[in-house]
């Protein structure tokens, strides 16, 4: 058993339903089960760099289980291993991770629990390589982290997208339109395919299966011939045509992950209107998927992850990330997680189910 008296907590990257539930579980487990002190770094790695902390106790985490976002706030632009500075009119990058290490020592923190996705956990791994005792907790609505079946926040994002599809069905049917819903997911199609199945989509376009717009149009024409003068198409933001590229909405130069996808549904909608002769509309769900209260499932998995993170720390399993396999909580070294994308299997059960139901994947 590791000698631990004080735990630090940090949330990095985009906000996500369930973050507060993880913070709550970490704090309650640390205090009630092990008698530890807990502090949180404000604004992610920026807080670690500036030494900006708040005390986490039973009072400060009371009533946050159902709340979205994070009481510790976050930053998706701070990478202490590559901090941008302007010198002589040019941008240069410096490794200032030692500042973070010193702030951990000043605060007397024995273990740092870092909650985040691939970018945040990459820095977690790098801090572990520098000798910091780190535990990782997987967070991303995209569900694209390898070695774990589910990341918290994903179920909430799918639920929000499904509710949107339910609403789009009624307006699509009323006006005889094609409605194209663009959902998040970056380079994977987990949200798109699960929401599409749950919401009764007629076509689902995901990054793992490049699409032919003519194939999608054929599906809509088949529906028209069968008396269905409306269709629902779910489009993952990273979906791309067979002969094209992903649609990049913008490039944020000062971000560790500068590419911002978005706009593919507009393109798909315009093309389908020309090909099938029905009015078509695009809806980009965007950050609605990130906000609001987490679902019951996400609250439970977040709580389990938070509890497990503290127990891993007490067992001395530093440099590990909490995982879910089946219904069992376990862990894997961060080294096995970083830089590997968990994609939808084009030959997997979810895709086969969609095809069996007559859903077009655009191929």
Q: How is residue 282 written in tokens?
A: 């695009």
| Burial class of residue 80, CB neighbours in 10 A (0-12, 13-18, 19+) | buried
- Residue in 118, 126, 142, 298 annotated catalytic: 142
Return left, alpha or beta for 191; rule: phi > 0 is left, psi -120 to 50 is alpha, else beta: alpha
**What's the rounded Cα separation, in Å, for the pair 61 and 23?**
8
Q: How is residue 349 written in tokens?
A: 């059960």
Residue with tokens 């630090």: 8
**Is 142 marked active-site?**
yes
**What's the rounded Cα separation, in Å, for the pair 305 and 116?**
12
Express the helix, strand and coil content of the chain in percent, nearest 5 each. Answer: 40, 20, 40
Beta bridge partner(s), residue 260: 250
Residue with tokens 């978005």: 262
Give which of 194, 274, 189 is closest to 239, Cα–Cα: 189
Residue positions annotated with a catalytic role:
142
């Amino acid at each position: 058993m590791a000698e631990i008296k004080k735990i630090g907590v940090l949330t990095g990257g985009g906000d996500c339903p369930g973050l507060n539930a993880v913070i709550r579980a970490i704090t309650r487990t640390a205090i009630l089960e092990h008698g530890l002190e807990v502090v949180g770094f404000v604004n992610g790695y920026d807080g670690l760099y500036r030494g900006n902390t708040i005390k986490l106790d039973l009072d400060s985490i009371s009533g946050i289980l159902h709340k979205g976002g994070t009481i510790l706030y976050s930053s998706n632009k701070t990478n202490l291993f590559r901090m941008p500075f302007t010198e002589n009119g040019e941008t240069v990058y410096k490794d200032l991770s030692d500042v973070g290490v010193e702030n951990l020592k000043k605060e007397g923190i024995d273990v740092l629990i870092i909650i985040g996705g691939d970018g945040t956990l990459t820095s977690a791994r790098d801090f572990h390589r520098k000798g910091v005792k780190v535990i990782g907790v997987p967070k991303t609505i995209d569900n694209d982290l390898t070695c774990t079946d589910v990341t918290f926040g994903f179920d909430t994002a799918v639920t929000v997208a499904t509710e949107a599809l339910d609403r789009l069905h009624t307006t699509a049917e009323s006006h005889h339109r094609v409605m194209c819903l663009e959902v998040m997911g970056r380079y994977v199609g987990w949200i798109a395919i699960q929401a599409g199945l749950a919401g009764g989509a007629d076509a689902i376009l995901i990054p793992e299966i490049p699409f032919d717009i003519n194939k999608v149009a054929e599906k809509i024409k088949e529906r028209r011939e069968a008396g269905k003068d409306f269709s629902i198409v779910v489009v993952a933001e990273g979906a791309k045509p067979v002969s094209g590229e992903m649609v990049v909405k913008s490039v944020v130069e000062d971000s560790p992950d500068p590419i911002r996808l978005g706009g593919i549904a507009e393109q798909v909608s315009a093309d389908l209107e020309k090909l099938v002769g029905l009015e078509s509309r695009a809806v980009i769900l965007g950050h609605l998927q990130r906000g609001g209260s987490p679902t019951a499932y996400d609250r439970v998995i977040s709580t389990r992850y938070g509890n497990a993170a503290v127990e891993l720390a007490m067992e001395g399993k530093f440099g590990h990330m909490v995982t879910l396999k089946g219904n069992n909580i376990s862990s894997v070294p961060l080294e096995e997680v970083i830089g590997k994308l968990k994609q939808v299997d084009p030959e997997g059960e979810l895709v086969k189910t969609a095809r069996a139901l007559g859903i077009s994947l655009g191929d």
